[in-house]
Amino acid sequence: MSGHISGAGFRVKTIKSMDHSLPERRYVMGLWRCIACGYVYDPAKGDDEGGIPPGTEFEDLPDDWVCPVCGVGKDMFEEA
């Protein structure tokens, strides 16, 4: 996996395949902010305490995932 470029509330993640005959893939990973406490979920970092690995998009978080700071649900987040 290559580096990340960030700015304007999103990150661009570059993925290199182990199969070097395939091209790199880049996709935008959006940041999500908790409207209750201001915590920002960064998909590139995941949530270690919640068992969420880096690279997990917000939409792919389990339905019962909660903000690691204040404990509110996913419905209390907005795109940052």
Tokens of 65: 């995932």
State residue 79's pLDDT score.
95
Reported pTM: 0.67
State residue 29's pLDDT score.
78
Rounded Cα distance, 47 and 41, in Å:
8
Q: Over the stretch 16-69, which tens digit does the pLDDT of each residue have?
A: 556 666 565 555 679 999 999 999 999 999 999 999 999 999 999 999 999 999
Q: How far from 13 is each of 1, 45, 46, CA to CA, in Å? A: 8, 11, 13
Backbone angles phi, psi at 40, to 5 degrees: -110, 120
Please say whether the dihedral angle defined by the alpha carbons of residues 13, 16, 22 and 23, taken in this order, is positive or negative: positive
Assign residue 32 a region: left if phi > 0, alpha if psi is -120 to 50, beta otherwise? beta
